[in-house]
Chains A and B, each alone.
Chain A
Amino acid sequence: MTNPQSTTENARHDAQELHKKISANIAKAERSTWADVKAVQADINTLGSTMKTLANDQAEDVKIGLKAAITKLEAAGHLVEDKAVAAKDGVKHANAAMLDSAHKAAQSLSGAVAAARSKAAHAIAPKANGAKPADIKKVIA
């Protein structure tokens, strides 16, 4: 059976990696191309789909954050090359929009992780008074 906690942690990790990848493209500055943008868009769309599934099982406040991030991811995932805009500026704006969406995704997923950890800690606390965080994590896993 899939552990919802692990799924959320994995999705968070994917969002963090996506953020790193886009940051690296931005750092390439003028050498960053539409091919780089399109390569990241595939990851963005995959993450968006994962988050949609995850959102169903979250508390309302977490769900709101996830949905806002999903909207941004979807918009960034559908950015298309605009030939009318100078190629350099187009790539720059696309990278900025994707970085923002990855940032929001990572933040909302860390919110979901925090909520799950807190819930697990409270569930364990009465039975295992004095349990260390590492013990709690073992129980979650």
Chain B
Amino acid sequence: MKFTGTDNYVASDDLRIAVNAAIALQRPLLIKGEPGTGKTVLAHEVSKALGAPLIEWHIKSTTKAQQGLYEYDAVTRLRDSQLGDERVKDIRNYIKRGKLWEAFTGTGSRPVLLIDEIDKADIEFPNDLLQELDRMEFFVYELQETIKAQHRPIVMITSNNEKELPDAFLRRCFFHYIRFPDRETMQEIINVHYPDIQRNLVREAMTVFYDIRDVPGLKKKPSTSELLDWLKLLMVEDIPPDALRSKDSAKLIPPLHGALLKNEQDVHLFERLAFMARREKT
């Protein structure tokens, strides 16, 4: 089992090695990076490349670790007992399997388990999963049995750095920080996504894009996924490459900038800078 990137995902050398190390040594891989650099997509691509089923667990602020294991639906059981349902005799009918359970007992090959945005959860959340991720087993109290992983799943965890993760949790993971791609890699990524886009449009668009990223003080810098969206818009609207190059007159704000700048203040800031740049020229 080796991951080498896919037709529509450009994996850099360091990312490839980190993923392969995590697969081979069966450790969870923690992935951090700017939003929009393809953290979540990575898990999808790994599962596609390895032909392994993907199990996604999206974390919210209210998610509890227990929900990933199983939940006991006492209310339904209580109601069924009122109605004299036969199902009520077996507690098994009211145990709802969580994502981890699914990943542990899935049939076939090693599944890929994506724990998405782990930093959104409560500060204690990662600690509650230590044992489960380490030993790949947990105990179901209601059934009095231990669920053990048949195949250790490939665990990928993404984080946006909103909360710091506990040391004990980090010790058990491998870590990779997806750096913002440089121009060359970006070109590759664009080629993979839009193979028949005009070359000069890409060139102009990338210049504008990296210029915007260099504007100091932006609240949210545009990222890879935003660039891809923007290019798509440019293609759909059939904007000629020259429109991006025109550095004069009122066209200093790039067309369809809404795809790149997601924040009112950022648009204002950019307009102001563009206005100042124009004044300097005249």
A, B in one complex: no
